[in-house]
Amino acid sequence: MLTITSSTIAERKIVKTLGLVRGSTIRARNVGVDILALLKTLIGGEIGTYTKMLNDAREEALNRMKEEAEKQGADAVIGTRFSTSTIMGGAAEIMAYGTAVKLEYK
């Protein structure tokens, strides 16, 4: 499934717009990781466990969006974006969304 951030696809014609597709996941932080992250803020640098957690969450949301697009018969998702919102202290939703489209095949 082609997934892009632009609204057009070079050398391909969009023949049908199927509509909005989205996928999301909610992730919560781990108290043990929070303590280590707090210590890391004192010395600086990347907090690798948070980086991995957010990367995994984005991939899961993206995969769920693609699954929804496939159910609608899409060939691609254009205008893909990510959104994050806090659900409660220590938990956040990561959402991927875009427009499912059908492409012309030559």
Looking at residue 37, what is its pLDDT?
Answer: 59
Number of domains in the chain: 1
Q: What's the CATH number where 34 sits?
A: 3.30.110.70
Looking at residue 30, what is its pLDDT?
Answer: 63
pLDDT tens across the length of the chain (106 residues): 999 999 999 889 999 999 999 999 998 866 555 566 566 666 677 777 778 888 999 999 999 999 999 999 999 999 999 999 998 877 889 999 999 999 998 7
∠ CA 13-11-68, nearest 5°, is: 55
Structural domain of 46: 2-103
Looking at residue 56, what is its pLDDT?
Answer: 92
- Residue type, position 61, single letter: A
User: CA-CA distance, 58 to 63, in Å (whole number)?
Assistant: 9
The reply to whether the predicted model has a pTM over 0.75 is yes
Looking at residue 34, what is its pLDDT?
Answer: 59
Looking at residue 38, what is its pLDDT?
Answer: 63
- Residue type, position 2, single letter: L
Looking at residue 11, what is its pLDDT?
Answer: 86
Distance separating the N- and C-terminal Cα atoms of the chain = 18
CB 93 within 8 A of CB 75: no
User: CA-CA distance, 102 to 18, in Å (whole number)?
Assistant: 7
Instruction: Classify burial at 41, counting beta carbons within 10 Å of its beta carbon; exposed 0-12, middle 13-18, buried 19 or more.
Output: exposed
CB 96 within 8 A of CB 80: yes
Looking at residue 48, what is its pLDDT?
Answer: 77
Three-state secondary-structure class, residue 28: strand
Looking at residue 71, what is its pLDDT?
Answer: 98
User: CA-CA distance, 52 to 60, in Å (whole number)?
Assistant: 12
